[in-house]
Amino acid sequence: MFDAYRQHKIDVNGTGINFRIGGNGPGLLLLHGHPQTHVMWHKVADSLAQHFTVVAADLRGYGDSDKPPAKDDHQSYSKRSMASDMVTLMGELGFTRFSILAHDRGARVAHRLGMDHAAVVERMILLDIAPTLAMYEQTDQAFARAYWHWFFLIRPSPLPETLIEHDPELYLRSVMGARSAGLKPFTDAALSEYVRCLRLPGTAMAICEDYRASASLDLEHDRADLEAGRKLECPLLVMWGASGTVGQCFDPLQEWKHVASNVDGKALPAGHYIAEEVPDRLLQEALAFLT
């Protein structure tokens, strides 16, 4: 995995961010989802590095990045804070403008990055999400059953943290294995890495804080943008799994049109984990859009 890459960890906004960098050309930032790490891109990373200088980073709180302490207002894990990390990281690496390919939680960070730091974003691809505010406001029984972890993780500390820490692998398999494709898309090496990182001290706390921020402070930021008429202005491509919950419970393209000025999108023949389920198709679509 990541044969063309070098691994580093640097201090960004007082938080150590772990990342791999490889390739040559324009900058492309890859952001992962929950409960994964940057390793989720391993099936597409080497091909992308033939066209871009690719930075595959672990979000704060995930993987081998640092886990800042929780705050009462969940500010440490707001998407605004996470987005600031990534802008600073890319700047430290010499990229004042770059494109983004992001999945799940990383896609929510990318959305906020594009809102708060519009000048740095060339193009953006978001995988298998609708805007956070729309998903919470339109929650019904079908969505709540499928995305049970959204509502489990935001319970007050220490209940969810304690349960995750008791058996991290059971939690991971319960979340990832319950999706439409089960655990078949994941290599043994990738699953082992996800489990290793979920066992690291502070990870359970960080994951819960990520979701608590999304259910509180992040929604305030999203509502403020809507009320002010602010939208994502960069060229945006959204893709979702045809057999996934997001596409079944929401109209992703229509929801993104509410918050983005220049957006196109489509369903792909996959569930939630597009980069690991249909990597060749993702590469085809991503390269056509990004190049």
| Structure tokens that stand for 136 in this block | 């919470």
| Structure tokens that stand for 20 in this block | 């791999």
Distances (CA, A) of 172 to 133, 142, 207, 264: 25, 21, 12, 32
Which among 10, 3, 61 is positioned nearest to 36, based on CA atoms?
A: 61
At 266, which helix (H) or strand (E)?
strand 263-268
| Alpha-carbon span 99 to 113, nearest angstrom | 11
- Supply the angle between the helices 79-92 and 217-228 in degrees, to the nearest 10: 80
| Alpha-carbon span 153 to 266, nearest angstrom | 30
Strand partners, 237: 125, 264
Q: Which of 58, 66, 85, 104 is catalytic?
A: 104
Q: What three-state secondary structure class fits 280?
A: helix
Is 272 part of the annotated catalytic residue set?
yes
Is 104 part of the annotated catalytic residue set?
yes
Write b or e for each residue in 12-23: b if 16 or more Cβ atoms lie within 10 A of its Cβ, otherwise e: beebebbbbbbb
| Structure tokens that stand for 115 in this block | 């809102």
Q: Which of 34, 42, 149, 272 is catalytic?
A: 272
Half-sphere exposure of 9 (CA within 13 A, CB side): 13
- Active-site positions read 104, 272
